[in-house]
Structures are given as structure tokens and as C-alpha cells.
């Protein structure tokens, strides 16, 4: 494989001259430039990505900032990443997944921004009042959100249409005949932190249920199987005659299913279950397979990267703001309710 030194020898110029032709850092005469380009063509020399990036003052690297905890990256989150990675590769960028960006990482985020490693970033796990957005904006880092802050003025984002998603999930259950539906959300701590999806779905659930003349009951749950079991126990205590559970916490949902079984309740004969913002891979892991509002994660990752690259290429100052609903996919976990005793008998 030819190197920059090989090009310099063939063109009879210095290595630094070859570098200047690649980067545009200094003016080079047309005759010298032509010699260097001819040598590169003869040797089939391919400058590396960093060298190509230097020519446009870019690293050709995009950052995907996704705070992660001990749960790691699940199948549903992975779809966002793979969609973004494919879109970045298609336009000649590398995508770097970084866990930097949690609430306590602002100093680290500012340090990362100051290094100018990334041409731009996509930010996930967005809160309604998100300090990371301000920090990146102050550092001048081009930014697109997967999610939304409370005030989206001047921001580009792609997010799930939680209002439509919840409305359709509730309508599916009500259409089957369910009247006592409990929503299992993320944890109380997550709600208190201002996490957008948890708050938006909470409000959408209230609106959807009251629109059908039904009482909304929401239970927060820790993101774990144990949290799901505890949430189901709390749900039964608050709504003893519940016949359906709507959940947006796919780590907890397997605990919910386990607790239903432990109480002698069958899915879907006794209790129907709908999982929201879920990948087909996760939905198919359950027995029976879960009826789900399927996450458009791959599409959202792709759209976010495409919007970011348009900003970097200077294709106007127009902000990209788009909502995508989840799609209802009916599997084996929902059915019309049958009469049963409030205690599960």
C-alpha cells in the first residue's frame, strides 16, 4: 500500500508538500499540485480519513452521546445506534458512541467539546431541561437531539410522538373491552429528573384515559425485573380489578410478567399486556410474545445523522423537527378481558 513518502518520491517533492496538497494548509502552485495528484493516481494512493478531514477542517467523526448505566445497551437502544452508524457511514463519516453526558458529567462533556474531536454530535436520553444542550451550544458544537427538551426553539430533533403512541395503545386495549388499565412507567427518580419520554407518556396516558371516561392509574417502576414485580404488586393494590397493563419499561416488563404468573394470572386471558417503545426482538422474547408499540429507533438514528450532516454542510439554517409514532404490532399478549375476581381468583 502506497504511503505519503512514496508519493513524495515519485513527484520529487517533500512530504510536507504532499501534506499541503491534501490539507490545503498552504498555497501550492498548480504545477506542483498537478505532479502530486498524478503521483497519487499512479500509485493508487488513498489518503486516510483524518487527512481528508483536515482538508475541510473536519475530523469526519460524529459523536453519539448516550448515557449508559449498568444495564448496558439493549436491543431497542441498539437500533438507534445501528441506524445512526449506517447513515454516518453512507456519507463518509465515522460514528463514535460515547457514554459521556449524564447529569454528573458536564465537566467531562465540556472537556470533550473543547477538544473538537467531533464535527457534531447526536444527543440521546434528553431531559425537558437538559444542561447538556446548553453546554454543547456554548461550545459551538453542532447538535441534533434524539428526544426533545421542553423549549425546542432553535434546536433540531427527531423524537417519538408519545401522544399518538399512547393514544393508540390505550385505544387498542379499550377497543378490546378493557376498562381498568394501569400504566407502568420508568422510576420515580427518572420522572423527577425531567426525563422527557417518562413525563410525556405520563401526561398522554392521563389524556387518553380520561378521553375514554376511564380513571388513569400510573405506577413508577425501577428499571429491573424486581422493579417490575414490585410495580405489578402496587398496581394490583391500587386497581384490584385491573385487566390490562401498559408499560414503557422493557427491563421491568419481564418482572411484570413473572409477577402475574406468580399470582396465578394468565396473559392474556386474565391480564393483557402492551409494551411501548419496544423492538420486535424484545417483544418476541416474552411468552406469549408481546403486543407492542414498536420503536422507530433505526429510522430515528438515521434521520438524526442526516439532519446533523446537513447542518455541517451548510445546507441552510433551517432546523429539523420531526415526530415519529410507534407502530402497533399485535401479538399474543392482548385479548378481550374475561371476568375474574378482583384478587385474581
Sequence spans of domains, the chain: 4-55, 61-160+297-326, 162-294
Q: What are 293's strand-pairing partners?
A: 276, 328
Q: Is 264 exposed, middle or buried (0-12, 13-18, 19+ CB in 10 A)?
A: exposed
Distances (CA, A) of 94 to 51, 146, 246: 14, 18, 38
Sign of torsion over alpha carbons 283, 286, 290, 292: negative
Contact 132, 101 (CB under 8 A): yes
Distances (CA, A) of 158 to 144, 150, 176, 219, 314: 8, 14, 32, 27, 19
Pick the CATH number of 61-160+297-326 from 3.30.1490.270, 3.40.50.2300, 3.40.50.1220, 2.60.40.1930: 3.40.50.2300
pLDDT of residue 24: 59
pLDDT of residue 340: 55
> What is the CA 315 to chain-centroid distance, rounded?
24
Q: How would you write the pLDDT of the chain (345 residues) with one tens digit per residue?
A: 788 888 899 999 998 888 777 765 577 888 898 898 888 888 888 765 545 554 545 678 999 998 876 556 778 888 999 999 999 999 888 999 888 755 557 888 888 787 778 899 999 999 999 999 999 988 899 999 999 999 999 999 999 999 999 999 999 999 999 999 999 999 999 999 999 999 999 999 999 999 999 999 999 999 999 999 999 999 999 999 999 999 999 889 999 999 999 999 999 999 999 999 999 999 999 999 999 999 999 999 999 999 999 998 876 567 999 999 999 999 999 999 986 554 544
Hey, do 4-55 and 162-294 end up sharing a CATH topology, with the first three levels equal?
no
Distance, CA of 240 to CA of 234 (rounded, Å): 10
Supply the pTM of this predicted model.
0.81
Pick the CATH number of 4-55 from 3.40.50.620, 3.10.450.50, 1.10.260.40, 3.20.20.410: 1.10.260.40
Distance, CA of 138 to CA of 234 (rounded, Å): 44
Beta-carbon count within 10 A of 104 CB: 7
Sign of torsion over alpha carbons 15, 21, 25, 28: positive
Sign of torsion over alpha carbons 198, 200, 197, 103: negative
pLDDT of residue 345: 42
pLDDT of residue 344: 44
Contact 293, 276 (CB under 8 A): yes
Distances (CA, A) of 142 to 16, 168, 210, 215, 322: 31, 35, 41, 44, 18
pLDDT of residue 242: 96
Overall fold of domain 162-294: Rossmann fold (3.40.50)
Half-sphere CA count of 125, side-chain side, radius 13 A: 20
> What is the CA 262 to chain-centroid distance, rounded?
33
Distance, CA of 2 to CA of 40 (rounded, Å): 9
Amino acid at each position: 500500500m502506497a504511503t505519503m513518502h512514496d508519493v513524495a518520491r515519485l513527484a520529487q517533492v517533500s512530504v510536507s508538500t504532499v501534506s499541503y496538497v491534501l490539507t490545503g494548509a498552504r498555497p501550492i502552485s498548480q504545477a506542483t499540485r498537478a505532479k502530486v495528484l498524478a503521483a497519487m493516481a499512479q500509485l493508487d494512493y488513498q489518503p486516510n480519513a483524518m487527512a481528508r478531514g483536515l482538508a475541510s477542517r473536519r475530523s469526519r467523526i460524529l459523536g453519539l452521546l448516550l448515557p449508559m448505566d449498568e444495564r448496558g445497551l439493549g436491543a431497542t437502544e441498539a437500533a438507534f445506534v445501528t441506524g445512526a452508524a449506517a447513515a454516518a457511514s453512507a456519507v463518509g463519516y465515522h460514528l463514535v458512541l460515547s457514554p459521556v453526558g449524564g447529569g454528573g458529567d458536564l465537566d467531562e462533556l465540556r472537556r470533550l467539546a473543547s477538544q473538537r474531536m467531533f464535527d457534531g454530535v447526536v444527543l440521546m436520553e434528553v431531559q425537558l431541561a437538559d444542561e447538556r444542550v446548553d453546554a454543547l451550544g456554548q461550545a459551538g458544537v453542532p447538535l441534533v437531539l434524539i428526544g426533545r427538551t421542553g423549549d425546542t426553539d432553535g434546536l433540531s430533533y427527531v423524537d417519538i410522538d408519545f401522544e399518538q403512541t399512547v393514544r393508540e395503545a390505550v385505544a387498542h386495549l379499550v377497543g378490546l373491552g378493557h376498562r381498568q388499565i394501569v400504566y407502568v412507567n420508568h422510576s420515580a427518580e427518572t420522572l423527577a429528573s425531567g426525563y422527557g419520554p417518562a413525563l410525556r407518556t405520563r401526561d398522554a396516558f392521563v389524556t387518553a384515559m380520561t378521553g375514554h371516561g376511564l380513571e388513569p392509574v400510573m405506577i413508577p417502576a425501577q428499571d429491573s425485573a424486581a422493579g417490575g414485580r414490585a410495580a405489578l404488586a402496587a398496581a394490583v393494590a391500587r386497581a384490584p380489578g385491573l385487566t390490562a397493563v401498559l408499560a414503557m419499561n422493557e427491563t421491568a416488563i419481564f418482572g411484570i410478567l413473572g409477577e402475574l404468573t406468580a399470582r396465578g394470572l394468565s396473559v392474556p386471558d386474565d391480564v393483557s399486556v402492551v409494551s411501548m417503545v419496544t423492538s420486535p426482538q424484545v417483544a418476541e422474547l416474552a411468552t406469549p410474545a408481546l403486543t407492542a408499540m414498536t420503536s422507530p429507533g433505526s429510522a430515528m438514528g438515521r434521520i438524526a445523522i442526516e439532519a446533523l450532516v446537513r447542518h455541517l454542510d451548510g445546507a441552510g439554517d433551517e432546523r429539523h423537527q420531526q415526530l415519529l409514532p410507534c407502530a402497533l404490532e399485535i401479538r399474543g399478549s392482548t385479548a378481550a378481558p374475561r371476568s375474574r375476581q378482583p384478587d385474581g381468583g
